[in-house]
Structure 1
Amino acid sequence: MNQPSKIVTNTLNLIYPVILVFGIYVIINGHITPGGGFQGGAVLAGVFIIRYFTDSSLPFSLERLNQIEKFLYLLLLTTGILYSLIFLGNFPVAVKTFYLSLMNFLIGVKVFCGLTIIFFRFILFEAK
């Protein structure tokens, strides 16, 4: 892959923190505003997808990211089942807010891992 111009690289380096903060904002405020875990996770995955266009090296291990995604899937299931069994669907308001925030966070990180894995598998393995 050809090296991108300095202008593109420097501009994207300035935009990364903005995208990260926006993705985290969407995840954190997902229980209040439209958005949430899936949308925020997709925004966060966009950071690594954009980063690939400026630096084609892999910043992490795909196997490690895959393990994190599997662990988060189990944690999502366990959290949902435990909250349902403990409160039997009658959540107090404070617990409901915490539960929604926790689920948004877990879903956001899982979607981030999943979309990043999908993108890099297409790029690294399907391009050969």
Structure 2
Amino acid sequence: MTDNSEIITRMTGLLYPFILLFGFYIILNGHASPGGGFQGGAVLAAVFITRYLVDPNRCIRLRTLKTAEKILFVCIILYPTVFLFSATANHTELMNLIYLIAMNFLIGLKVCSGFTIIFFRFAFYEGGIL
């Protein structure tokens, strides 16, 4: 893949902000409409995947991505526990809304990092890099 098309490179660069915006929109509105963390995370992972497909020579730090995924997993476990056992047993509607949005956001970032790691593992093994 040494011959990159200038049109494809520029168009994907132009589409990145819109893909990110659409992914975060799906995540942040997942509590009120179809979608949520998993679907939005898959859309966000498309940015990293297309970035690799357009320019495979750009480096990606898989170790940093794996660390971020582990930290997000711990946050996904701890946040509901803290919310459940918080001192205020009478949760208001606003607190529930913030909880749902935060959980969708955490799950979306976790799915994004997970899908990206899976894709790069397949790409590196298939390419013989690892």
After TM superposition, the score normalised by the length of structure 1 is: 0.91
Cα distance per residue 1:12-65 (max 9 Å; x no partner): 111111101100111111111111111111000001111111100344310111
Cα distance per residue 1:49-100 (max 9 Å; x no partner): 1111110034431011101100110111001111112279863211100000
Cα distance change, pair 115–58 in 1 and its aligned pair in 2 (3 A): farther
Instruction: Give the structure 2 partner of residue 64 of structure 1.
Output: 64
AA in 2 matched with 1:56? P
Cα distance change, pair 54–102 in 1 and its aligned pair in 2 (3 A): same
SS class of match (2:110): helix
Identity %: 46
In angstroms, what is the RMSD of aligned CA positions?
Answer: 1.7
Instruction: Give the structure 2 partner of residue 19 of structure 1.
Output: 19
Instruction: Give the structure 2 partner of residue 112 of structure 1.
Output: 112
Aligned length: 128
CA distance, structure 2, for counterparts of residue 58 and residue 94 of structure 1: 43
SS class of match (2:13): helix
Instruction: Give the structure 1 partner of residue 76 of structure 2.
Output: 76
SS class of match (1:86): coil
Instruction: Flag structure 1 segments of 5+ consecutive residues without an equivalent.
Output: none
Give the drift of 1:109. 0.5
Instruction: Give the structure 2 partner of residue 94 of structure 1.
Output: 94
Instruction: Give the structure 2 partner of residue 55 of structure 1.
Output: 55
Cα distance change, pair 25–84 in 1 and its aligned pair in 2 (3 A): same
